[in-house]
Amino acid sequence: MHTCRDCGRTFSSELKYELHRDTCSEDTLLCRECGNRFAERRATRDGWHYRCPNDDCDAEGLGEAVVRLKDARVATR
Ligand SMILES: [Zn+2]
Ligand SMILES: [Zn+2]
């Protein structure tokens, strides 16, 4: 079992994991409020309004409280 460090998804084979690594951060979002990482599709229903899928967190707004993981990485370096 391979677990992605960035999004927490698990993969049954190394090949699937390797393929995933190439695209992972492309659609992985980070909540700056609670530090949660989640797939883009979990954070939005209409592709317009984004909010943290964590029930205990009410952060919302892509580019505000919710940022793309790849952008967050650049910003923190
Ligand atoms: Zn991943
Ligand atoms: Zn959050």
Give the pLDDT of residue 75: 56
Give the full edge-to-edge strand order of the sheet including 37-39: 37-39, 28-31, 66-68
Distance 15 CA to ligand 2 centre (A): 31
Percent of the chain at pLDDT exceeding 70: 94
Ranges in the chain, pLDDT < 70: 73-77
- Pair 63, 70: CB distance under 8 Å: no
Q: Is the pTM of this model over 0.75?
A: no
Distance 59 CA to ligand 2 centre (A): 5
